[in-house]
Structure 1
Amino acid sequence: LMLCFSVSNIDARPMFGFATQTADKDFKRFFIIYVSLAIANSLFTLMRAFTFAYGGIAAARKLHKSLLNSLLKCSISFLDATPSGRILNRFSSDTWSVDDSLPFIMNILLANMFSLLGTLVLSCYGLPKFLIVLVPLAIFYYFIQNYYRWTSREIKRISSVSLSPVYAHFGETISGLSTIRAFRHVTQFVEHNFLLVSNSIRAQFASLIAGLWLSFRLQLIGIVMVAGVSLIGVIEHVYTIEGSNPALVGLSLSYILSVTGLLNGLISSFTETEKEMIGVERVTAYIDDLPKEEEDNEEQFIFLNEERQQKGATIEYRHATMKYSVDQKVALDNITFQIQSNEKIGIVGRTGSGKSSLLAVLFRLVNLSDGQILIDNVDTTTMRRHTLRQTLAIIPQDPFLFSGTIRENLDPYQHHTDEEIHSALEKCHLFDLVETLGNDLNSMIVERGRNFSVGQKQLFCLARALLRKAKILCLDEATANIDNETDRLIQTSIRDACSNVTVITIAHRVQTILDSDRVIVMDSGRIIEFDTPTNLLKSPQSTFARLVRQAKVSILS
């Protein structure tokens, strides 16, 4: 396609050059050829533009889908260790390069390449001795473009690397803006932002200077070419018997006058293509090299506790030991306990005692260093994570709702009827709230559920878990950021709706787990107490009793 475009892109100069050497009756024939080439060039230009536009969109869609899929399946340790700005950079500027810049610049590159090739072929045809000048200039051109490409490519990498901290710092500043103002560190953050932006601009300025360095040398090549064609034409005319053909010499000279722009366009577009390919390189690095959470050797397993049994699953930790990394101390140290079906378990302990780590290994967000975890007497490591997590549901401390309708948030895969969704909403005391919105299940939820309170978002997450019919429900300090009244409402909803579900509650407030069947007290990755709340409160020396006294919770008999 590009070759056909290049051939059809020949302008009127060679036609008129040949026509001046023929009879007047042949001029009409050359004119018809020229018009035909102009029409063909328009058609090929349209086809080329459509091909690159469609190909760019298809490639960008595929890369973005693969990038998102790879990120969603990567290990949690990677997300913990990688700044969010670096990940956002992949989905913003790098993906933008693939989506918009790269197809456009590749189109220009191929057009310049074939245009330059056609120009040199016609110039050498009109003046064959021009090859004497062209060969050494081509060698010189190869070395300077190679040097420039290596330099600009590394500058582009530096520019991309220096841009990620800008994204990360800006996002962190926005997230913690109230804290920054409260501690009066605004000036410090502004100065640090200026430093990061200056580092990014410094790399871009170096790229601009490198472009000017190349432009100067390409202009020198163009001057030498024009001087060479002129000198060869004069020498042939003066010192050869047959002389030179004025029409062909003029044709060569007219094309050589534009070669500087073509050379500059070629190297610039080639370099820009390489720069934009760095975005592709960075995206494909995330696609291919991210540590995957799912192992290829894990066997598919059908969970034994099927929905028809309508009961919660049993959970057993056997000598479970876990480290988040090899150079850190153990987060769980030889944990052993068992949870019966439909049992409600509360977990308390100070920060860093290992409460959330119990759920992390249950969901297999982190692998055990030693020991095993069994659900319904099945080792969790013998099943795929996807299969395991279909049996689990969690309500986190920061509940998340997507932009969309209530139905899309509660039942994104459309597996349930409206009656089932209404039943789940009624169990979670949300039915009246949804009715007041006007459009029932089609009522819209804004981004991150900002049109609902934190407690209401927690209840929506609970309704979502009930619709999934999960056998195990985990609450990771879900009521830490809500008032006592909403806390009681959520606990009431859990008691009413989760009678056939095993519930594990990590509590910020002690009163949240007072009605649990049993309570686990954690400290330094170990279980120091595990009994019913009543038995633990009977012992004034117990850690749980001390926490209740510190919280000044009144115990109803």
Structure 2
Amino acid sequence: MSFFDTTPTGRLLNCFTGDLDILDQLLPVVAEEFLLLALMVVAILLTVAVVSPYILLIGVILVTVCLIYYLKFKKVTNLFKRLENYSRSPLFSHILTTVQGLSSIHVYGKIEDFISEFKRLSDMQNNYLLMFLSSSRWLSLRLEIMTNLLGFAVALFVVFGISSASYSYKSMAISLILQLASNFQASARIGSETEAYFTAVERIRQYMKMCVPESPLHIEGTSCPPGWPQHGEITFQDYCMKYRDNTPIILNGINLTIHGHEVVGIVGRTGSGKSSLGVALFRLVEPAAGRILIDGVDICSISLVELRSKFSVVPQDPVLLSGTIRFNLDPFDHYTDEQIWDVLERTFLSTTISKLPQGLQAEVVESGRNFSVGERQLLCIARALLRNSKIILIDEATASIDLETDTLIQHTIRKAFQGCTVLVIAHRVTTVLNCDRILVMSNGKVVEFDRPEVLKQKPESVFAALLATAHSSLS
């Protein structure tokens, strides 16, 4: 995940569109064309050499001069092609951010600024492309002059009768040497372009080295106990975590035990480490120290597939994939339509979905944009309900929902997730007052962990201060 966190979106688009397109479409074609032209040039030189062996000597001299030109040109063309590839990344990034923030651009009247920035980035990318094409023409002109000199030498050999070959063979040699001018400069130019296109391979190899894979999805010889987890008890033992090697510690020495079938509300100010607990639980980041036990099993000792298949998550940003509503709720076809309608009823979406002409087969557009943010969040909650996992992580699931629906959802969570261990990362502090216990985080450490009524009775507690701030903002 660190690779995607640190790599700009425009650079990723450039890699998966521009570089891969060059690698799959352009590079094989130009490489094949270069080989054909190079073989044709060699065949023409050998055929014409029958007129006089001295032609080969002249050809070697001309090829040496052309090679000197090519070595000078090679550095320039690779540089221009590399700059042209790199200049596409900010252009793609700008287009993507413009499309995503189109409404905000119109509201703040920044249309001309974004158009000007688009023109500037387009000009920069086109300038590098123009320099690459101009440098190719520069080489082609000089190579054509060299090959024309070779053709002039062959013509002199034929006119002055130095060779004893027949006149028909001499005329064929003249015809072939006239073709050599265009073929030789084309083979050199396309050969340089082929080498320049290999910069795309170079960039992809860099990404392959930068992207460190996570732990194996499957570990041979290890398996979790049958029916695990049975109770859903989560224990953090001196747990420390940081997102990357060069970043500070995010979770520092976490020691706590969440009992099975318990609903725990996790609160704290922005940057306190609330969402990082979920990242640690799903092993999106490996621990820097310590460990996490679930029903006595170290989560680092089992495969990622077995671990993540036992959890359900309702993310902070609702994620819907292109497809049908049924596919988004049950992508592997493990459940019946009756079970899906049941969870839609419990999340108050059955009326909305039933009004659609195709029902569960209604299409979901890219990123679920044909649904409101609240409806997308409710669909994510329905997906978690359908999986019926023992451990549920709800990461600020009601942040985009109005207060009335929020109350209904909190009631649904309490009722539907009975018998499960539920971790509720709260955006509104008042929404976790009905939880069994409250975990208060600050600067990556556990500040308080107790029942809400106990924490409210302590005026000096951090939770009481957060609750007072929430009540004052509501009033």
> TM (normalized to structure 1)?
0.78
Matched, 1:113 2:43: no
Partner of residue 213 from structure 1, selected from 127, 134, 138: 138
Matched, 1:293 2:206: no
Matching residue of 1:420: 339
Matched, 1:314 2:236: no
For 1:10-31, what per-residue CA distance to the aligned partner results, in whole angstroms no more than 9, with x for missing partners?
A: xxxxxxxxxxxxxxxxxxxxxx
Q: Larger radius of gyration, structure 1 or 2? A: 1
Cα 1:126–1:464 change in 2 (3 A) is farther
Matching residue of 1:233: 158
For 1:232-281, what per-residue CA distance to the aligned partner results, in whole angstroms no more than 9, with x for missing partners?
A: 112325xx7xx552211111011111111101221122122222222233
| Stretch of structure 1 that moved more, 86-95 or 157-166 | 157-166
On the 8 A contact 1:401/1:457 being kept in 2, the answer is: yes
C-alpha distance in structure 1 between counterparts of 2:7 and 2:380, whole Å? 28
Cα 1:275–1:413 change in 2 (3 A) is farther
C-alpha distance in structure 1 between counterparts of 2:161 and 2:60, whole Å? 19
Matching residue of 2:10: 85
On the 8 A contact 1:427/1:496 being kept in 2, the answer is: no
C-alpha distance in structure 1 between counterparts of 2:171 and 2:387, whole Å? 80
Matching residue of 1:253: 174
- Aligned pairs (5 A) from 1:397-476: 397-476=316-395
Matching residue of 1:384: 303
1:357 Cα shift?
Answer: 1.5
Cα 1:443–1:196 change in 2 (3 A) is closer
Partner of residue 224 from structure 1, selected from 149, 153, 164: 149
Cα 1:436–1:190 change in 2 (3 A) is closer
On the 8 A contact 2:262/2:420 being kept in 1, the answer is: yes
1:475 Cα shift?
Answer: 1.3
For 1:502-524, what per-residue CA distance to the aligned partner results, in whole angstroms no more than 9, with x for missing partners?
A: 11111111122111111111112
Matching residue of 1:146: 71
Partner of residue 332 from structure 1, selected from 251, 255, 260: 251
| Stretch of structure 1 that moved more, 180-189 or 326-335 | 180-189
Matching residue of 1:543: 462
On the 8 A contact 2:395/2:426 being kept in 1, the answer is: yes
Counterpart amino acid of residue 386 in structure 2: L
1:298 Cα shift?
Answer: 6.3
C-alpha distance in structure 2 between counterparts of 1:154 and 1:212, whole Å? 16
C-alpha distance in structure 2 between counterparts of 1:469 and 1:221, whole Å? 76
C-alpha distance in structure 2 between counterparts of 1:312 and 1:244, whole Å? 96
1:218 Cα shift?
Answer: 1.2
1:226 Cα shift?
Answer: 1.4
Matching residue of 1:38: none
| Stretch of structure 1 that moved more, 87-96 or 387-396 | 387-396
C-alpha distance in structure 2 between counterparts of 1:378 and 1:285, whole Å? 37
Matching residue of 2:194: 273
1:284 Cα shift?
Answer: 3.8
Cα 1:271–1:312 change in 2 (3 A) is farther
| Stretch of structure 1 that moved more, 181-190 or 136-145 | 181-190
Cα 1:417–1:435 change in 2 (3 A) is same
| Stretch of structure 1 that moved more, 324-333 or 186-195 | 186-195
Matched, 1:282 2:207: no
Secondary structure at the counterpart of residue 258 of structure 1: helix
On the 8 A contact 2:233/2:260 being kept in 1, the answer is: yes
On the 8 A contact 1:356/1:476 being kept in 2, the answer is: yes
Cα 1:300–1:543 change in 2 (3 A) is farther
Matching residue of 1:345: 264
C-alpha distance in structure 2 between counterparts of 1:223 and 1:365, whole Å? 64
On the 8 A contact 1:401/1:448 being kept in 2, the answer is: yes
Cα 1:134–1:490 change in 2 (3 A) is same
Cα 1:227–1:292 change in 2 (3 A) is same
Between structures 1 and 2, the one with greater helix share: 1
Counterpart amino acid of residue 171 in structure 1: L
For 1:480-499, what per-residue CA distance to the aligned partner results, in whole angstroms no more than 9, with x for missing partners?
A: 12211222232222222211
1:356 Cα shift?
Answer: 1.2
On the 8 A contact 1:476/1:507 being kept in 2, the answer is: yes
On the 8 A contact 2:91/2:118 being kept in 1, the answer is: yes
Counterpart amino acid of residue 238 in structure 2: H
Identity %: 37
Counterpart amino acid of residue 138 in structure 1: V
Matching residue of 1:65: none
C-alpha distance in structure 2 between counterparts of 1:429 and 1:397, whole Å? 19
Matching residue of 1:99: 24
C-alpha distance in structure 2 between counterparts of 1:158 and 1:300, whole Å? 48
Give ranges in structure 2 of 5+ residues lacking alignment: none
Aligned residues: CA RMSD: 2.7
Matching residue of 1:59: none
Counterpart amino acid of residue 437 in structure 1: L
On the 8 A contact 2:3/2:210 being kept in 1, the answer is: no
Secondary structure at the counterpart of residue 264 of structure 1: helix
1:127 Cα shift?
Answer: 4.6
Secondary structure at the counterpart of residue 539 of structure 1: coil
C-alpha distance in structure 2 between counterparts of 1:139 and 1:148, whole Å? 14
Matched, 1:530 2:449: yes
Give ranges in structure 1 of 5+ residues lacking alignment: 1-75
Cα 1:187–1:422 change in 2 (3 A) is closer
C-alpha distance in structure 1 between counterparts of 2:321 and 2:127, whole Å? 39
On the 8 A contact 2:140/2:186 being kept in 1, the answer is: no
Matching residue of 1:130: 55
On the 8 A contact 2:325/2:361 being kept in 1, the answer is: yes
Partner of residue 434 from structure 2, selected from 484, 495, 515: 515
On the 8 A contact 1:321/1:333 being kept in 2, the answer is: yes
C-alpha distance in structure 2 between counterparts of 1:228 and 1:399, whole Å? 74
Counterpart amino acid of residue 423 in structure 1: D
C-alpha distance in structure 1 between counterparts of 2:212 and 2:31, whole Å? 32
Matching residue of 1:41: none
1:184 Cα shift?
Answer: 6.4
C-alpha distance in structure 2 between counterparts of 1:132 and 1:529, whole Å? 88
C-alpha distance in structure 1 between counterparts of 2:377 and 2:322, whole Å? 16
On the 8 A contact 2:218/2:303 being kept in 1, the answer is: no
Provide the aligned length of Structure 1 versus Structure 2: 474
1:401 Cα shift?
Answer: 0.8
Matching residue of 1:18: none
Partner of residue 374 from structure 1, selected from 280, 285, 293: 293
